[in-house]
Structure 1
Amino acid sequence: MAYSMSDLKKGLKIELDGIPYKIIEYQHVKPGKGAAFVRVKIKSYINGRVLEKTFHAGDKCEEPHLEEKQMQYLYDDGDFCQFMDTQTYEQLAISDELVADSKKWLLDGMMVDILFHNGKAIGLEVPPTVELKIVETAPNFRGDTQGSNKKPATLETGAVVTIPFHILEGETIKVDTLTGEYLERVK
């Protein structure tokens, strides 16, 4: 399906020159003289670059062939992260560059959404929150009960987050994967 200028909106996925993009900003401009046009900022799913593009009446762009599949994270072999389709038991290796910052939240057995473009993996999305165990943090000192004080903690995946002083090593906490912030202690 081809999109015209009037179909464009924020959040829409489009394809230009064989590369899938997501519209992150949208502005409809109607100048005093001349025809109206749409100015958009688009982010590439392949390399994450943000571009600015102008669409005029009659310009067309294609709908990308994107597929999202839920897969289970198995392990990291050093260069690639291994995932498995739980329906077909087919395994998929994704390079560490493509996994990027999401790697610090991956725990063996975790389910993640992997985005495919024309059958090739182009990205992955971890759940918005994860529950991880604290493997190393400073001990709690008497009198450190004020909520505004924080200390660093290393989690079982290797990620480092700041937590309140009253939380101890060995406890499980919930963390926001987008911001990397501590949310709450898990009971």
Structure 2
Amino acid sequence: MKINANEIKVGMLIEYKDDLWEILKTQHVKPGKGGAFCQVEMKSINKNTKLNERFRSNDSIEKASIENIEFNYLYDDEINYYFINQKNFEQVEVKKDIIGEKGKLLKENLNVDLIFHEDKAIGIELPNQVQFKIKSTDVALKGQTVSSSYKPAILENDIKIQVPPFIESGDEILVDTRTIEYIKKV
């Protein structure tokens, strides 16, 4: 689907120079002299390289056609993560380098959306909140102020996070997957 350059938004996927690109930053500029343009920073999905490009406002850009399909996370090995579609029981493997840091937040039986482009998985969309158990945390010190004093904790998947002083080892908490921050105790 063709779109104008001034419709480009952060997070959008476009097809450009025979590759698939994710938009990281956009800046619309209207100079005093000459036509308006859009300065775009983008990252290649396939090659993992970055590119800064300038598009005139009336340039046509090919927006990538993507499809989100819900899958259930099964397990992982040294190279891949494995998912299953609960509707047709199709099993899909996705390379760890495609998912990247988000892979640390995967738990067995977690429902996620896999992002497909031309029948190839190119990314993952996690739910906004995931429940984790605290593996270990420091003991809260008596007399420590309650307001904005957080302490370090380690989750069951070895991610380090800051939690309020009343959280103890073994507690279940909700974590925001976008910011990897504590939300609330469960």
Q: TM-score range by the shorter chain?
A: 0.7 to 0.9
Structure-2 residue corresponding to 1:111? 111
2:54 is the alignment partner of 1:54: yes
Q: Deviations over 1:49-69 (max 9, x none)?
A: 442212236633212121111
Structure-1 residue corresponding to 2:175? 175
* Aligned 1:100-179 pairs, distance under 5 A: 100-140=100-140, 142-144=142-144, 146-179=146-179
Corresponding letter in the other structure for 1:146: V
Query: Is the partner of 2:161 in helix, strand or coil?
Result: strand
**In percent, how many aligned pairs have the same letter?**
32
Q: Distance in 1 between matches of 2:38 and 2:2?
A: 16
Structure-2 residue corresponding to 1:9? 8
Corresponding letter in the other structure for 1:90: E
Q: Distance in 2 between matches of 1:58 and 1:148?
A: 49
Structure-2 residue corresponding to 1:89? 89
Q: Deviations over 1:53-102 (max 9, x none)?
A: 12236633212121111111001122211111111111111111112111
Tell me how far 1:29 sits from its aligned partner: 2.6
Query: Is the partner of 1:166 in helix, strand or coil?
Result: coil
Moved over 6 A (4+): none
Tell me how far 1:113 sits from its aligned partner: 1.3
Compared CA separation, residues 163 and 28, structure 1 to 2 (3 A): same
Normalised by the length of structure 1, the TM-score is: 0.83
Tell me how far 1:122 sits from its aligned partner: 1.0
Query: Is the partner of 1:109 in helix, strand or coil?
Result: coil
Tell me how far 1:14 sits from its aligned partner: 2.1
Contact 2:26–2:38 (CA<8 Å) still a contact in 1? no
Tell me how far 1:165 sits from its aligned partner: 2.2
Contact 2:28–2:36 (CA<8 Å) still a contact in 1? no
Query: Is the partner of 2:102 in helix, strand or coil?
Result: helix
What count of residue pairs does the alignment treat as equivalent?
Answer: 184
Contact 2:162–2:182 (CA<8 Å) still a contact in 1? yes
- Which segments of 5 or more consecutive residues in structure 2 lack a partner in the other structure? none
Q: Distance in 1 between matches of 2:146 and 2:27?
A: 44
Tell me how far 1:168 sits from its aligned partner: 1.1
Contact 2:79–2:95 (CA<8 Å) still a contact in 1? yes
Tell me how far 1:111 sits from its aligned partner: 0.7
Contact 1:73–1:111 (CA<8 Å) still a contact in 2? yes
